[in-house]
Amino acid sequence: MKNQKLLILALAAITAPLTLSSAEEVQSSMQKLLEPLKTLQPFLADEDKFTDSDNADTIETQILALRKDFHTIETIPSHYKSQPGFQENIQNVAELLDDTSRRFKEGRTEYAWWRLQRLPTDCFSCHATYKVTSHYSNAAAIDESLAPLEKARFLLATRQFAEAKATLIQALNDPAYRLYDDQVLRSILLVETRISKDPKESVALFTRLSETPGLPLDDKHTTQRWIKGLQAWSKAPAIPQSARLSTGESLITSGASRGIDFQQDDVALLRGTALVHDALESGKLSEPQRRKALYLLGYAYTHLSQFFTEGWGEMYLEKCIEDFPNTQEAKWAYNIYSDTVIDDFTGSGGSTIPDEVKLHLEDLRKKAYGETGFSPKV
């Protein structure tokens, strides 16, 4: 199930600073989220505990605390709000917490538990995209009674990347988690490409991981493919700021290519998106360059759906259409966006698409193509 994909990580590299007062406010609000998040951890890891009526008061109190402090973050002015995806991600999490709280009060605890499973993933997606200065100690954020994979989710959500990587490697070496090896490996690759950014060390790490006893053959082949991508990265020259967008575009284009005897290059896609984010952050892109950057991010993330939080690619495609209507990039973005949304509603050739989704697609089509554009697909 898409909303329960484990350890989906994300993106990288927007470094625009907050003003001091805004930075302090954001950091203070984020710190307040730690205690309720820590308290909820064992309940999120065990559905029976979450749905046990004896725990209802504790759980509801912590959900309300998360809602309050997260909505505080929404109101704080910051330079990040001008960056692609930041405000949308904040709003998505706020809506998730609102919906979880409402359903929990209604007694729909199973649904509330299912919704809240996405929270650590969404937290990490934002933290790995925007380089904030907050760092937390392990003792402050982790319930030591959790199993390794659950522990890793919260380490990642709270920017404890070194500890998270060690915990993921621990899980990879435990036969009890064999079914999750592919997800664990993807998580480690994201930490390596987006946080560590030392391809030579990453080559050595994945060479060791590829020899993990009992590692499925498919996963071994995947790690070997990543090693080739990391080796290519280790030989690449430094990229000046002025070439970030063009180099990112080349990496994304080549990384997304597939053939009969080869698969997409995940490392190139991850590197390419990081460079495009960095180019956007510089604030020096022209309007044509900015709309190209948004389109490239949306295009790339639709190829990296196993790595990132649900809907990340669609978010950038939609922003390209909204910010730059009636442009070539908006038209390309709409084509990918509509295909992706329609594919999500399978079973009867698109006839099961909800009316509100059809209306949204038509609204985006008009913005992308203008009122005289081609007929909608649904």
Give residue-wise pLDDT tens across range 28-79.
556 667 778 878 888 888 889 999 999 999 999 989 988 887 766 656 555 5
Say how far apart CA 171 and CA 64 lie, in whole Å: 32
Q: How far apart are the first and last CA of the chain?
A: 25
What residues does each domain of the chain span? Answer: 1-143, 160-235, 238-378
pLDDT tens, residue by residue, 222-279: 999 999 999 999 999 999 999 999 999 999 999 998 877 778 999 999 999 999 988 9
Single pTM value for the model? 0.78
> What does pLDDT average to over the chain?
81
**1-143: what fold?**
Four Helix Bundle (Hemerythrin (Met), subunit A) (1.20.120)
Would you state the structure tokens that stand for residue 254, as one six-digit string? Answer: 């080549």
Say how far apart CA 284 and CA 288 lie, in whole Å: 12
Is the four-CA dihedral 188, 190, 193, 195 of positive or negative sign? negative
Say how far apart CA 84 and CA 159 lie, in whole Å: 21
Residue 286 has a CB neighbour count (10 Å cut-off) of 8
pLDDT (0 to 100) of residue 262:
75
Residue entry with tokens 């966006």: 337
pLDDT (0 to 100) of residue 117:
79
Q: What does each C-alpha distance from 274 to 72, 103, 267, 347, 349 come to in angstroms? A: 29, 37, 11, 36, 36
Is the four-CA dihedral 202, 204, 210, 214 of positive or negative sign? negative
pLDDT (0 to 100) of residue 84:
64
